[in-house]
Amino acid sequence: MTALTLVLSACAGSVGGEDSAGGGDGYAANASQEEIDAALEDLDPVTLTFQPSAASESSIQSPSGTEFAKALEEKSDGKIKVDVVWGQAIAGYDEVHDALADGRVDLAYTLPVYDPAEFPAANALGDALAGVSPSPFVGEMIANATAADVSWGTPAIVEEYESKGLTPLVPVVASGGYYSVCGEKGVSKSDWQGRQVRIASKTQGETIDSIGASPVSIAYPETYEALQRGTVDCTLAQLVPSAEGGIFEVAPNVGYMTETSFPRSPGAMVAGSKFEQLPLAYQQLVFDSYAEYFQGQMMTTIGGNAEGIKQAKAAGGEIEQFPTSLQQEIEQINKANKKEVAQSGIIGEDIAERVDASAEKWAKKAEELGFSDSGKTANFDEWYDEGTDFTPLAEAVYEDVLVEHRPN
């Protein structure tokens, strides 16, 4: 096997070196731990710099980083050391793809939605995911399984990363669903007239505009102050970052849907330019740890939904369901947007059909595995089980989608 030269950069440990190159024997998919140990036995230790989404290890979002990092270290028997860098301390979301390309970061959760010009295909899939089940529990599992499934099956999305020297581990992560989070109560059509609403994407802005409100594009870190000062009345937001950012202190009223959903802002799990210089067995171990990553991501997203609703209630807010008539109107807007995505051809004219088929497949699989909603979104904080094991669905996604893309 080709040994890997470990180079520690000034800012953090990094894999590879100028003269190193990936190689060596790998191991088969679904290998036993003994077979993995044998494949790694003669390899030199490495350190991987990993930027997850969370601000700190103690944050609500930390499982999306800690579960993945722990799996890499445990499965490699400590040969892979993961240097977890919290709070995007090396590179913010607007710079992280460059940091992956130049070797400052080796693994990262990224937000292609921040750079739609560079990642038009990934963002198009985020738009096409509008309408996928809005349930705060099973719906999140379905959306993220569908995003992984469809993104791996869309060459244009994969190419957006590979053209920059990057390796996608999950080309599109659906992350969490979007809710309205407002200072004032009310989610009827009349309530939205004239409201200033912070949005996360162009398509969300078009949706908000269509129901009579005015979309405002501001950076997420500025949202708390904008709501506090009344610069905006509401934000379309995922609940977990809202809980982490204290948003419910100034905007405690949450609106949710049951029949459709807002367009999503796509994330991604990406490996940097030095990934391919790793020995093959290390590459495979990173890729094969998808189930643990999915577990952590669902602990973050779904657990964050429960925590967000809990915080909103504690702040005196109302958890309100959008009227059926308004949901139907938003669904028509979603269909028009998806038709526009299809007509653009950027990810195929059949994208709506592919998303629908995938969502149906993973909804059926989730049901077969025993996952179900036990109540309404308004009391999700009461019926969510924090000990839920999401790995059975993750393993099904790996077998059905990811395994054919593993390094070899």
**In angstroms, rounded to a whole number, what is the distance separating the alpha carbons of residues 379 and 383?**
7
30-66: pLDDT as tens digits: 999 999 999 999 999 999 999 999 999 999 999 999 9
Crossing angle of helices 33-40 and 280-288, in 10° steps, is 150
Residue 223 confidence (pLDDT) above 70:
yes
Taking CA atoms, 49 is separated from 46, 104, 136, 279, 317, in Å, by 10, 8, 31, 17, 40
Within a 10 A sphere around the Cβ of 101, how many other Cβ atoms?
Answer: 17
pLDDT over 70 (residue 7): no
Across 258-278, average pLDDT:
95
Q: What does each C-alpha distance from 254 to 185, 248, 264, 291, 305 come to in angstroms? A: 8, 9, 17, 31, 11
Whether the pLDDT of residue 17 is over 50: the answer is no
Q: Does residue 179 sit within a domain?
A: no
pLDDT exceeds 50 at position 202: yes
Asked if the structure places residue 52 within a domain, the reply is yes
What is the pLDDT, as a whole number, of residue 22? 64
On whether the CB atoms of residues 265 and 220 are closer than 8 A, the answer is no
Contacts of 343 (CB under 8 A, 6+ apart): 349
Q: Is residue 199 part of a domain?
A: no
| Cβ atoms 33, 22 nearer than 8 A | no
Q: How far apart are CA 259 and CA 243, in angstroms?
A: 24
pLDDT value at 161 more than 60:
yes
- Residue 261 included in any domain: no
Whether residue 352 is contained in a domain is answered as no
Q: Do 35 and 28 touch, CB atoms closer than 8 A?
A: yes
Q: What is the pLDDT of residues 334-390, one digit of tens each?
A: 999 999 999 999 999 999 999 999 999 999 999 999 999 999 999 999 999 999 999
Contact 81, 13 (CB under 8 A): yes
Asked if residue 233 is part of any domain, the answer here is no
Residue-level pLDDT at 9: 32
For 96-153, how does the pLDDT look when each residue is reduced to its tens digit (9 = 90+)? 999 999 999 999 999 998 899 999 999 999 999 999 999 999 999 999 999 999 999 9
Whether the predicted pLDDT of 23 surpasses 80: no
Reduced to 3 states (helix: H, G, I; strand: E, B; else coil), residue 262 is coil
Per-residue pLDDT band at 5 (split at 50, 70, 90):
very low
Question: How many domains does the chain divide into?
Answer: 1
- Is residue 258 included in any domain, yes or no? no
CATH number at 88 reads: 3.40.190
**pTM, two decimal places:** 0.92
Per-residue pLDDT tens digits for 295-335: 999 999 999 999 999 999 999 999 999 999 999 999 999 99
* Tens digits of residue pLDDT in 59-103: 999 999 999 999 999 999 999 999 999 999 999 999 999 999 999
For residue 169, the enclosing domain spans: 7-114+136-174+266-307+357-367+383-405
Q: Return left, alpha or beta for 167; rule: phi > 0 is left, psi -120 to 50 is alpha, else beta.
A: beta
Query: Is the model's pLDDT at 2 over the cut of 60?
Result: no
Does 38 reside within a domain? Answer: yes
